[in-house]
Amino acid sequence: MSRTIQQFKAEFFKALAHPMRIRILEVLSEGSKNVNELQTILGSEGSAVSQQLAVLRNKNVVFGVKEGTTVVYSLRDPLIKDLLEVAKRIFDNHLVDAISLLEDMRKES
């Protein structure tokens, strides 16, 4: 694998390395939103949402289109939705394994 691709992947995953950014991407997976809509859905102040959107924009994960006085944000690549779903399935698998381990430990005691 080329070093360029590895660098791209590292930078891409750095962009995802924040809970609010993940949540923003989950919301945008359902459709485009402006900052006010994101703020309401996330229950967070606008400056925090704007700051996280800036990171995602700078890493080319989302893009904004100006509509009048507002900017509407969307996922740059719809495959991000699939990536988030795969990550959730991996988490679910780990959770199932942890529950099974705990049940085995409880049976042994």
pLDDT tens string 33-48: 999 999 999 999 879 9
Residue 21 pLDDT exceeds 80? yes
Cβ proximity of 78 and 84 under 8 Å: no
CB 74 within 8 A of CB 80: no
Tell me if the pTM is above 0.85.
Answer: no
- Structural domain that includes position 11: 3-108
Pairwise CA distance, residues 93 & 101, whole Å? 12
Q: Number of structural domains, the chain?
A: 1
49: CATH: 1.10.10.10
